[in-house]
Chains A and B, each alone.
Chain A
Amino acid sequence: MTVASDPPLRTPKRPSRLFKNLMAKLASIPMILTALVVFVGGTMWTVVYSFTGSRMLPKTNWVGFDQYERLWSSDRWIISIKNLGIYGGCSMIFTLVLGFCLAACLDRKIRFETAFRTIFLYPFALSFVVTGLAWQWILNPEFGLQSVVRGWGWESFTFNPLNDPETVMFGLLIAGLWQGTGLIMCIMLAGLRGIDDDIWNAAKVDGIGTIKTYVVVIIPMMRPVFITSLVLIASGIIKLYDLVVAQTGGGPGLSSEVPAKYVIELMFRAQNLGQGFAASTMMLCSVVIILIPWAYLEFGGRKRG
């Protein structure tokens, strides 16, 4: 029994191609406008205007790469990049390791799995503002964790990351990990569930230990899951903004500034649009650098439907 694909209707007068599927085209107008005007148009506009000397209002006085030169000689921007590097590197490693370990624990056919999963994932439902404020309170040196431990008798205990320029990014990291690892755990868990039981049985027959099976067999099999997680974490790191504003406000001093915050401050507070555009173009570049290898790995190797 063969199902014939529906034969094209041959009418003597074929209507213009533009009107074929007219309703679908009309219904897609919002999508087309969003894609072309906002995403393509908006991005190009910003890139083009990053070569102008715009200050309060966008102007077309071309200044070449001046804005970029000024950007890379600005201390604040360099600090922002360094901070994001520290936060990003640690966040990437800890999220992947913690996410995978938690998923592996939950996959060991344990009891109360749903309860544990619910606990690990609930921070992801909360906003970064809520996350930042909650941790700001816990890390408060006068009343928070530090004072409690001191109250237990350990008088010299010091844990005050949010007021120390050296460690403030780790204070943010604690909150960021709290909010974000649940998601990665869920993705990893879905990946682990997708692995056939036969693999485990085969490993057992061969006498390979549980941990070794994870490292040698399971993790290589989960490569696509890891790559997806990596892209997700990376795109989240570049967007880092709300958490910083809520938890530290960029302080103490400039020691927890991040690029996304730099862009917004320059555009909307310092009224230096050109700098903001140049900085956001740099953010765009970093995303492109992350995305191209991923797109190549995902779609380049073999064609998918």
Chain B
Amino acid sequence: MADMTLTGPSGPKPKKAFSRANIFLYGTLIMVSMYYLLPLYVMIVTSLKGMPEIRMGNVFGPPMEVTFEPWVKAWSEACTGINCDGLSRGFGNSVRILIPSLLLSISIASINGYALSNWKFKGSEVFFTILIIGAFIPYQTMLYPIVILLREIGLMGSIGGLVLVHTIFGMPILTLLFRNYFASIPEELFKAARVDGAGFWQIYFQIMLPMALPIFVVAIILQVTGIWNDFLFGVIYTKPATYPMTVQLNNIVNSVQGVKEYNVNMAATLLTGLVPLIIYFASGKLFVRGIAAGAVKG
């Protein structure tokens, strides 16, 4: 409508950009942001300095001479005990732990969620409730029984064992995620497929799976950050040769022998944090959705 514009300005009264409330608001937010950004900044600048500069200078100051040597050293030379092959080994282990855990836990959980929302059977809700309550039990309570379990099946200390552990402990939250998602898909769709004679797997692979792609992405984000950041299970269920990156990082930085090389330590710390950070910055809103789905409902 053209004459609408002639009746004068519409919408709320424009606010002044620099009102006192606004200055206070943005001031607070910027101050708090500095607290959040400080560690990342300090880690980055420290990792780019040489040791002499660190001993002399200001931890907050930018590097006068940028050097990438600490990064190289952290990746390929830093020592844990007698091994001096750097974090690359831990990185490799973490990748070898991550990929199978990811595939196994997500496929099992998505099938669980699908069965729980569309193929309820007697007792299915009971098992699901136990699973959800299990998510709140402190891991410490179940650590030793799992040690026995892994010893019995011969997986103690191996990467396979840790994969199993991650699959078990990822199951509650992921099952919940998929169950809620599948429950939100109209039931008529499922019934129509049933009438057409499709079975359990056919409906899963041909109807549910393609529709659930967004939730798969959320599950992947949740699991990649969760598994990559795990320390407790890594330290208990693996041995030095199969330590994941977080455990190796802790051993490198907190080792008591030798001269402390803070720049190498910070480079190693950043390297370990890099994978989840990339996931976080690349996924944006989906990350938030993942933790919200995990947190609010769980």
Report which A residues bind B (CB closer than 8 A): 3, 6, 17, 20-21, 23-25, 27-28, 30-32, 34-43, 45-47, 49, 58, 98, 101-102, 105-106, 108, 110, 116-131, 133-138, 140, 143-145, 147-148, 151, 178, 182-183, 186-187, 190, 225, 228, 232, 235, 238-239, 241-242, 245-246, 249, 260, 263-264, 267-268, 273, 276-277, 279-281, 283-284, 287, 291
Collect the chain A residues with CB atoms within 8 Å of residue B20's CB. none
Asked if A127 and B142 sit within 8 Å, CB to CB, the answer is no
Given known contacts A21-B119, A21-B121, A137-B265, A120 and B33 CB-to-CB distance under 8 angstroms: yes
Known: A43-B137, A137-B265, A264-B143. 6 other contacts (CB 8 A): A34-B131, A34-B171, A38-B168, A120-B36, A121-B288, A134-B269
Nearest to A104 among chain B residues (CB) is B25
Asked if B136 and A43 sit within 8 Å, CB to CB, the answer is no
Q: How far is B120's CA from A120's CA once the two chains are assembled, in angstroms?
A: 41
Asked if A38 and B42 sit within 8 Å, CB to CB, the answer is no
Task: State how many angstroms separate the Cβ of B99 from the closest Cβ of chain A.
Answer: 18
- Please choose the segment from B63-71, B208-216, B273-281 that sits at the chain A interface, where 4 or more of its residues have CB less than 8 A away: B273-281
Collect the chain B residues with CB atoms within 8 Å of residue A246's CB. 231, 250, 253-254
| Interface residues of A, dominant DSSP | helix
Task: State how many angstroms separate the Cβ of A243 from the closest Cβ of chain B.
Answer: 9
Task: State how many angstroms separate the Cβ of A45 from the closest Cβ of chain B.
Answer: 5
Asked if B277 and A148 sit within 8 Å, CB to CB, the answer is no
Collect the chain B residues with CB atoms within 8 Å of residue A127's CB. 228-231, 246, 272-273, 276
Task: State how many angstroms separate the Cβ of B160 from the closest Cβ of chain A.
Answer: 15
| Interface residues of B, dominant DSSP | helix
Given known contacts A122-B280, A284-B141, A35 and B130 CB-to-CB distance under 8 angstroms: yes
Asked if A27 and B134 sit within 8 Å, CB to CB, the answer is no
Asked if B58 and A151 sit within 8 Å, CB to CB, the answer is yes
Task: State how many angstroms separate the Cβ of B108 from the closest Cβ of chain A.
Answer: 5
Q: How far is B143's CA from A25's CA once the two chains are assembled, in angstroms?
A: 28
Asked if A239 and B139 sit within 8 Å, CB to CB, the answer is yes
Q: How far is B266's CA from A234's CA once the two chains are assembled, in angstroms?
A: 30
Q: Does B225 contact A (CB under 8 A)?
A: yes
Asked if B231 and A129 sit within 8 Å, CB to CB, the answer is yes
14 CB contacts below 8 A, A to B, read: A23-B119, A25-B121, A28-B124, A30-B112, A34-B131, A38-B145, A102-B32, A119-B33, A129-B246, A130-B269, A134-B266, A151-B58, A260-B138, A284-B137
Collect the chain A residues with CB atoms within 8 Å of residue B35's CB. 178
Q: How far is B277's CA from A302's CA once the two chains are assembled, in angstroms?
A: 41
Collect the chain B residues with CB atoms within 8 Å of residue A145's CB. 59
